[in-house]
Structure 1
Amino acid sequence: MTVLENVKVALQRPAGLSYQFWRPLSTLRQLDARAMELIDRVGLSDAIHFEAASLSYGRKRVLEIATTLALDPKVLLLDERLAGMGHEDVHRVAGIIRDISRECAVLMVEHNLNVVADLCHRVTVLQRGEVLTTGTYTAVAADPRVREAYMGNEDD
């Protein structure tokens, strides 16, 4: 399916069309405007007719964000969304996440500390499944327990 078709499929549920696949394709034209808004918002307007499978790794992840936004979430959960992306994709996707966070809560697991410092208002550090500390990035980064847990101590 194309980028546009993927977003339109995601929009079917909130439009009450998700279980009405027997309707003619023309019925889905009512979703075009909203689909294009979402596609523009995530920067894929140049790829609306491309097959999703042909997109780069970073652009596929962006398409996933667009299809999730189609469901009008109150909270967006992102688990290492930026892992494996090139630098320019990381920057672009971080900007999209920042934009989304203005209207929807975003909870993310992320190991790219530059992104965490740039995007996150509150950071929680886990060690072996337990909360080590919570606070601003600056406070958490300065916590000696965090430094020892993730960088070791001078004796190591």
Structure 2
Amino acid sequence: MAIRATAMTLDLDVTYIFVLALLAVPLILLNHLVFRPFMALFAERHERLEGAFGRAESLLVKAEQRAQDFSDRIQVATSEGIAARTRIRSEATEAMTRRVDEERQRLRDKVEAAVKEIEASAEAALVRAHEDAQRLAQQTAEKMLGRRIES
């Protein structure tokens, strides 16, 4: 079996140009009237969405930064409050300790004065008791002897 090669020949005539024009003209018209405006609208919509997403992201970052700043300020205020409370408590404790020490010293001074007064009173009482005892002894001796005794 023998294969026969036949050559195809292409005849160009006006109908091919007419068919090509029938395809190209609507394609060009559709491109200018429909596809380009649609693509521009689509691109604008895409830009708006991307812009909205970008603004939302920016606002979210700002909100997170503000929340972090607020948290930092709260932490600083809390630590300052704790330090102030500790300082005030320390000052109050020192003042109370000073008052207690002053009161103790005042009471010590009172007790020492009272002890000295009691010692002085006791010594005076002993002196008087000694004098009274000597006087009574002399009187008793005089009565027993019936005469006056000189000391």
Superposition TM-score, scaled by structure 2 size: 0.17
Which has a greater percent of helix? 2
Q: Which has the larger radius of gyration?
A: 2
Q: Which has the higher contact order (CA 8 A, sep 6+)?
A: 1
Which has a greater percent of strand? 1
